[in-house]
Amino acid sequence: MQNGNDKEPRKTGTDDQGPNNRGDRKGLKNGKDNNRDPNNFNFNFRNNRFALVFLVALLGMFLMMLFSNTQTVGQEIPYSQFMGYLREGQVETVRIVDQSEIQGTLRTRDGETRSFTTNIPYFDDDLIRTLREQEVRFSGAPRPVSPLQMLAELFPWMIGFFFIWFMFRQLQGSGNRAFSFGKSKAKRYLEEGIKITFADVAGQNEAKYELQEIVEFLKSPDKFTRIGAKIPKGVLLVGMPGTGKTLLAKACAGEAGVSFFHMSGSDFVEMFVGVGASRVRDLFEQGRKSAPCIIFIDELDAVGRTRGAGYGGGHDEREQTLNQMLVEMDGFDTKSGVIVLAATNRPDVLDPAILRPGRFDRQVTVDMPDVQEREAILAVHCAKIKLDTSVNLNRFARATPGSSGADLANLVNEAALYAARKNKDLVEAEDFEEARDKLLMGVARKSRIINDEEKLKTARHEAGHALLHYYLENADPLHKVTVIPRGRALGVAFSLPEQDSYSKGSGYLRDRIKIAFGGYIAERLFYQDTTTGVQNDLKQATDMARRMVTEWGMSSLGPVSFGQEDEPIFLGKQIATHKDYSESTANAIDLEVRKILEECFRQAEEILQEHQDQLELLAATLVEKETLSDNEIRDLLGFPLVSSPEDPLASLPDSGQNTGGSPAGAQEGDLDEDNSHEVHTDGDGQQGEAEEDHPRDEAPASGEDGFDDQGGSGETRDSSPGSGQDRSE
């Protein structure tokens, strides 16, 4: 689900605490900030009067120090000489300064009066008595403070005051950011700036239908309130990453023509305690003032996780933020015209209190697109590029099951980049195929040198996987097989389903196990030994068989589910799988798993032994041509050709590139969506054989339960270090 409109909604500025975008901002001249340009310093004293006063004060103090009389009063004489003058009666006046200095006058023998000064080396108890005996006028005084001393005392205070003033000036110039960290960081889009509507959203008709009521309420609330109906306070959009939850929320606001507040769940909590709750209050307050409007909280699971769960205590600040959000939504008046939308791809970790009716009353599932929706999404994105008439979008839509809208957008963009790299005027089908290969399996490593013996081993291994596709009734049709290294794989056998499917039977799963054993059996037929390259083949075949027994009731043990799956530790649930059966039952499970594996192995071995000549011919041709498409293999081995040009399994150009599967990010193993591409990786690096596409009740995360992370199911051999025989199946 993607937007066909290139125009971004117009914002009303930036975050609430962002800078003030006034046109008469000071310091800007001719579009350039002269105050910040180090090569064009132009200090404007008119706009900085305080700085001017500060500089004048500093200059005045400097002049005071320069011209002040800091010299000693009179001639400095020793204290002993002063005492001699005093006993002789020559001293007329004495001024004791700070009990450490004496300033005075004396009359010389010539009758002249001179000023003198002396320092008192110690406190003399006889000094005052002697002065009285000699009838000398004396007084005391504190030591005078010089301008330099005054400046030394005032300067730290002046610096501190100037620093505080400067900080306030900076804060005013930056929109008071430091004092608004508790304000909401939500981006606001004005109603006239949102150009996205439901018409710009390809697919997701059910989700759009659910949201249409929200649009109707925002447009005409009286239609609902006059009969006593209550519109949902909140709507939670649930879906896999890249399915278009944020786009749907914007389209809802654009359709209703109301303001749109967008904030991520991670924006609430920061380093300061209480900031999250404060931002929640501010966000809802802004919403009330701008009603009618939509408040959209993306990635709600970042702030709405289950409270009090996990080990070592919960995150108190996040819980405080969640509590405030619960309070705000519970006290929200539905007549206020404010609707809360939220999006998450982890609804299982959300606190139950936030999901109850009265808060998020409605949950809207945003599914992966089906084949018609994928074609519509591709058409939306291809409308922006110059497309060659040979490109069949329906073919690529059917060849990318399990892909989200974001995956398809990336596919189109990569194809355009390939075409531009080759200086083409139009994007051709070959560019789409190369882009799909890159997203699924990585860049082709054409420079990697592989000796002939290793190449033959890889070809035989891949041929073992590929040949079984033509003799197994329930297997997906083979798309292409190659021995060209790509990503971490040395070879790939890639298959594609004929159509979207949402559940798989035991026959299909058993055939997938047989195909997983194909490379292992081929190695034993030709070399009477196997390599470490079959590691993931065996692992995925075993995992698939065990799930058939323990989860899906596809064994003689009957319709029983054994064991409980691991739960996330941070939810305070199970750390490990809970064993809810006895040792004898565990023994029976192991026997059933081994029985399924041995039956599939024996049947696959019989097929390859019977057609070993075809296996050798296919391997030899692979060594020679490196890449073979489905029709080329059919022509080589004498199988009926697939000639429909609309079929995504039709022959593709032999470009040495593997072209199959959905772009990276398609959810492999999610049988709610058809992700049955086969990609086998043998080694301890990537997950292997994506033949393990099992039916599941709900979509797992990419690569979950041994499923291929790329969402494809081709058979690839891992070439990572330590993987032993780095050959792809």
Give bridge partners of residue 416 from the DSSP assignment: none
Specify whether 729 is catalytic. no
Tokens of 349: 């970790």
Q: Which of 462, 523, 692, 729 is catalytic?
A: 462
Measured CA to CA in angstroms, residue 427 lies from 4, 137, 185, 237 at distances of: 19, 111, 41, 35
Give bridge partners of residue 76 from the DSSP assignment: 117
Tokens of 580: 């809810």
Q: What's the residue count for the chain?
A: 729
> Is residue 366 a contact partner of residue 245, using CB atoms and an 8 Å limit?
yes
**Which is nearest to 486 in space by CA: 519, 448, 521?**
448
Residue 60 CB neighbour total at 10 angstroms: 11
Measured CA to CA in angstroms, residue 153 lies from 56, 146, 250, 404 at distances of: 18, 11, 61, 70
Annotated binding-site members = 239-246, 461, 465, 537
d(CA 482, CA 622): 7
Tokens of 193: 């700036």
Measured in Å, how far apart are the chain's first and last C-alpha atoms?
A: 34
Measured CA to CA in angstroms, residue 128 lies from 101, 103, 131, 621 at distances of: 14, 14, 5, 124
**Which is nearest to 686 in space by CA: 476, 480, 486?**
486
d(CA 119, CA 98): 10
Q: How many helices (H) and strands (E) does the chain have?
A: 20, 18
For helices 535-550 and 506-527, what crossing angle results, to 10°?
150
d(CA 78, CA 107): 17
d(CA 269, CA 185): 11
d(CA 727, CA 448): 13
Phi and psi at residue 104, to the nearest 5° = -170, -170
Q: In what order do the strands lie in the sheet with 75-76?
A: 75-76, 113-119, 101-107, 91-97, 137-141
3-class secondary-structure state, position 495? strand
> Is residue 353 a contact partner of residue 325, using CB atoms and an 8 Å limit?
no
Cis peptide, bond prior to residue 292, ω within 30 of zero: yes
**What is the per-residue DSSP string for 550-601?**
HTS--STT-S---SB----GGGT--SS-B--S-HHHHHHHHHHHHHHHHHHH
Exposed, middle or buried by CB within 10 Å (0-12, 13-18, 19+), for 544? buried
Q: b/e string for 248-258 if b means 16 or more Cβ within 10 A?
A: bbbbbbbbbeb
d(CA 519, CA 534): 7
Annotated binding-site members for Zn(2+) = 461, 465, 537
What sign results for the dihedral spanned by CA atoms 434, 435, 438, 439? negative
> Is residue 687 a contact partner of residue 707, using CB atoms and an 8 Å limit?
yes
Give bridge partners of residue 495 from the DSSP assignment: 478
Annotated binding-site members for ATP = 239-246
Output the CA angle 472-477-480, nearest 5 degrees: 120
Residue 535 C-beta-side C-alpha neighbours within 13 Å: 19
d(CA 657, CA 652): 10
Write out the catalytic residue numbers.
Answer: 462
